[in-house]
Structure 1
Amino acid sequence: MNLLQVAWWNVRTLRRRLLGLVAMVAVAGAVCLSAIGIASNAQGTTTSQVGESTANRSVTVDSPEGRPDTAQLTDATEQRLAKIAHVVSVQHRLQVSMPVRDNPEGADLLYATTYRKALAPPVVKSVRKQLFPLHRGEVVFPAATHGVDLSSMVGRTVTVDAHHYVRPGVGDTVSDRVKVVGLYDPGWQFDGPDTAYVDDATVVKWAAAAAGKTTDDYLRTSGWDQLTVVADSAAHVPGVLKTVQKMNYPAVALQQQLEALPGVLQLVALTGNVLLGVLGVLAFAGAVTVTGALGRQRAQEVGILKAVGFRGRSVTGMLVAEMAIAGAVAAAAGVVLAVGVAGAAAAGLRRIGDIAPYVHDTVPLPSLPTMVSLSVATVVVVAAGAVLPARRAARMSPTEAMKDW
């Protein structure tokens, strides 16, 4: 008969005495696993939705005004930037004034701007499901501007006046017709207030007319007023930004404005680590308390074992094995309980509007390797907590043990 068999029989016999330890460790383990699962789920979702979002992977390059030795943001420049390592796309922006002549709502001046996928405006109303890219002669207005509600403009065709350069100091107006196909949230002002998103060809045509050039000549000489360089991952943004700046272009990364994000993600991860520490302390303290109490209560049993030839090492091993088995049962019960706790917690969190997007999994539990590692760690901690009380009990002589009983 080996020690594990004896320990298993003792655990079955003493199950009522061990119930408190098992329940405490199981509940602590369930709370810990469910919290880590929810935190990991939220952290992963945050990293993918924010940390690795297109906006957080973008570098904004402005026109090099006042730098005569630096080429303008032409198509050639766009192609050069696209060849930088880890760059997946370069998106251009051009903006030109767009007076609206027959706007019945009274908002008469907007700024026609090309659309960039990396910084897409939040559409609140549109004539079709997939609004972008825009077709020729289409425009997206802000839902409100200058205190004027433009919600009734969707579907209407309006006349806009584009400036046409004739010669220095002389110009005229060229009218054009565009259709309002959508509205976006006016709080979105990455391209400035009073922005209207228009298809690229139309914006370039108006900008070229204002400069007195053909569209081809305009793109070759004047170019875009801003470019957005998108990296393949957030980790490569600093390198891309440094390369662009070395080319003497003024450039900034939106990632620089989200410096607090890594700290938030680390805080989420730290919460899980703190819970792990709490679980370890509870399991260790519980094992010390229960093993010490059982050692005193079972003094006669220890004395008999010593009297029939059991060595102190064998007695210590048996008592530690009992606690390890109790820890294993508690860890298994904690995993089962964690499924219910995590599922209930996730269901509650999904009812909170601001938190719901970050809790996708029905039962957000840690990965299988993490759960196995935590379960093994629980058994080890419980067993470690039993070592000192078990050694004290095993050091008693048979006479002293029988006397204490």
Structure 2
Amino acid sequence: MNVLGLALANVRALRRRLYGLVALVAVAAAVCLAALGIAGRAQGATDSGVTQSSANRSVTVDRPADRPDTPQLTDRTAARLAALPHVASVQHRAQVSFGVLTDAGDTVLLYATTYRPALPPPVTKSVREDLFPLRPGEIVAPAVSQGVDLGALVGKQVEIETTRFVRPGEGTGVTGHARLVGVYDPTWQLDNPDAAYAADATVIKWAADRAGRPEKTYLSGIGYDQLTVVADRAENVPDVMRAVQDLGYPAVTLQQQLDALPAVLEMIRTVGRVLLGVLAVLAFAGAITVTGALSRQRAQEIGVLKAVGFRTRAVLTMLVTEMALVGAVAALAGAALGALLAAGSAAVLRDSADLAPYVEDRLPLPAPGTLLFLLGLTVLVVAIGSLAPARKAARMSPTEAMKDW
């Protein structure tokens, strides 16, 4: 029988003593594979979804309050910005406050906001699938605002109160009605913690009434409070931002506003590396412990092998091969367990509206090449861990090995 066949026979005979090592390495490998798989798929989703999304290609242009020589954000300004190189579109935002009166007598102060396709709110409940563009008289509010649950009002007519200009510093309330057609996750606050989206015509009318300006001349006089310039590609965003700033407008990219995102992704990758290190340490320490213990228990067997002509190298190869086979079994078991763990973790994460886009895959394991590398690395670490105690056992003389030590 060759060394490989002998090692395989020994593993079968000693399988009960090896269950502990197999379980230890398999569990560590499963956790590592699941974490790396979810982190890798999250990174891939970010690269493919976020990098070229209209949100990540957007440049936010605010009203030039401290620059009187710079024109306001009117339709003419929007057309001027749209003519800049690498600009795909310009989307406007206007806001005006209004109150929503609930059946319980609560008054919730919200800010009617024009909808921008580049920055869609994460709608959690609505009366129809394609909610935008909104129709006149419709609003979409945060699910919870100022402690009031607005989700229960979806689909209902709500009483609202807007403000009409009377004289400088004075206005009068105007009561009306609107239909709440949807609510969004209140943690999404890019437009304002209490932004409520409405049709453009509705927002402009309320804003003009509040400012005491004719609705037809409001945009040409006061204009929008913010414009969103969307670049054609993510790599052109810095050039577009500089071009906007050269015109005298304060501008910032959403990439700058979301600068915490790369840090989060780096943290996920770091956790994966730490888990990989933990797997290596556990596999290495387990192999040393188990190989040393088995070598002491099998001293007489080793002595017999040396007595019948097995050389030190052959005995060493047999012992290390045994541990390599154990490592292979543990790696395969870890891969199967890791697949179950990854699938379960992904299912749990998909229940979160914020995390669901990053774990769309049912089985978020690493790429096949990475998976094979990790499995091979597990086997290699176990084999290396067994090398020192195996060498010590293989170097024993037949006489010494036959002793009960």
- Normalised by the size of structure 1, how large is the TM-score? 0.72
In structure 1, the residue matched to 2:302 is 302
In structure 1, the residue matched to 2:139 is 140
In structure 1, the residue matched to 2:392 is 392
In structure 1, the residue matched to 2:366 is 366
* 1:133 CA drift (Å): 1.4
In structure 2, the residue matched to 1:382 is 382
* 1:11 CA drift (Å): 1.9
Q: Which amino acid aligns with 2:334?
A: G
CA displacement 1:88-142 (0-9 Å, x = unmatched): 4321123568899xxxx998x987643223344566887655332134x445376
In structure 2, the residue matched to 1:269 is 269
CA displacement 1:37-59 (0-9 Å, x = unmatched): 45555666677888877555533
Provide the C-alpha distance between the structure 2 equivalents of 1:206 and 1:239, rounded to a whole number of angstroms.
Answer: 36
Q: Which amino acid aligns with 1:8?
A: L
* Structure 1 pair 84–4 and aligned structure 2 pair: CA distance change class (3 A): farther
Q: Which amino acid aligns with 1:63?
A: R
* 1:377 CA drift (Å): 0.9
Q: Secondary structure at the match of 1:117?
A: coil
Q: Which shifted more, 319-328 or 389-398?
A: 389-398
Identity %: 58
In structure 1, the residue matched to 2:24 is 24
* 1:323 CA drift (Å): 0.9
Provide the C-alpha distance between the structure 2 equivalents of 1:122 and 1:299, rounded to a whole number of angstroms.
Answer: 67
In structure 1, the residue matched to 2:334 is 334
In structure 2, the residue matched to 1:3 is 3
CA displacement 1:218-248 (0-9 Å, x = unmatched): 7667643320123567776556444433332
* 1:25 CA drift (Å): 1.4
CA-atom RMSD in angstroms: 4.9
Provide the C-alpha distance between the structure 2 equivalents of 1:17 and 1:126, rounded to a whole number of angstroms.
Answer: 59
Instruction: Answer whether contact 1:98 1:110 (CA < 8 A) is retained.
Output: yes
Q: Secondary structure at the match of 2:132?
A: coil
CA displacement 1:231-283 (0-9 Å, x = unmatched): 56777655644443333211234444444333333323322222222211111
* Structure 1 pair 160–402 and aligned structure 2 pair: CA distance change class (3 A): closer
Q: Which amino acid aligns with 1:182?
A: L
* Structure 1 pair 138–3 and aligned structure 2 pair: CA distance change class (3 A): same
Q: Which entry has the higher C-alpha Rg, 1 or 2?
A: 1
Provide the C-alpha distance between the structure 1 equivalents of 2:351 and 2:189, rounded to a whole number of angstroms.
Answer: 30
Instruction: Answer whether contact 2:127 2:155 (CA < 8 A) is retained.
Output: no
Provide the C-alpha distance between the structure 1 equivalents of 2:249 and 2:391, rounded to a whole number of angstroms.
Answer: 72
* 1:386 CA drift (Å): 1.2
Q: Which shifted more, 205-214 or 248-257?
A: 205-214
In structure 2, the residue matched to 1:401 is 401
Provide the C-alpha distance between the structure 1 equivalents of 2:106 and 2:81, rounded to a whole number of angstroms.
Answer: 41
* Structure 1 pair 243–308 and aligned structure 2 pair: CA distance change class (3 A): farther
Instruction: Answer whether contact 1:75 1:220 (CA < 8 A) is retained.
Output: yes
**How many residue pairs end up in the alignment?**
391
Provide the C-alpha distance between the structure 2 equivalents of 1:378 and 1:91, rounded to a whole number of angstroms.
Answer: 53
Identify unmatched segments of 5+ residues in structure 2.
Answer: none
Q: Which shifted more, 198-207 or 373-382?
A: 198-207
Q: Which amino acid aligns with 1:94?
A: A
* 1:72 CA drift (Å): 3.8
In structure 1, the residue matched to 2:178 is 180
* 1:214 CA drift (Å): 9.2
Instruction: Answer whether contact 2:163 2:206 (CA < 8 A) is retained.
Output: no
Instruction: Answer whether contact 1:112 1:198 (CA < 8 A) is retained.
Output: yes
Instruction: Answer whether contact 1:287 1:385 (CA < 8 A) is retained.
Output: yes
- Normalised by the size of structure 2, how large is the TM-score? 0.72
Q: Which shifted more, 367-376 or 220-229?
A: 220-229
For 1:155-304, list aligned pairs within 5 A: 155=157, 180-182=178-180, 197-201=197-201, 215=216, 223-231=223-231, 240-304=240-304
* 1:329 CA drift (Å): 0.9
Instruction: Answer whether contact 2:125 2:154 (CA < 8 A) is retained.
Output: no
Provide the C-alpha distance between the structure 1 equivalents of 2:402 and 2:364, rounded to a whole number of angstroms.
Answer: 52
CA displacement 1:129-164 (0-9 Å, x = unmatched): 5332134x4453768999999959955899989779
Q: Secondary structure at the match of 2:20?
A: helix
Identify unmatched segments of 5+ residues in structure 1.
Answer: none
Q: Does 1:118 align with 2:150?
A: no
Q: Which amino acid aligns with 1:401?
A: A
Q: Does 1:311 align with 2:311?
A: yes
Provide the C-alpha distance between the structure 1 equivalents of 2:140 and 2:374, rounded to a whole number of angstroms.
Answer: 54
Q: Which amino acid aligns with 1:276?
A: L
Instruction: Answer whether contact 2:124 2:185 (CA < 8 A) is retained.
Output: no
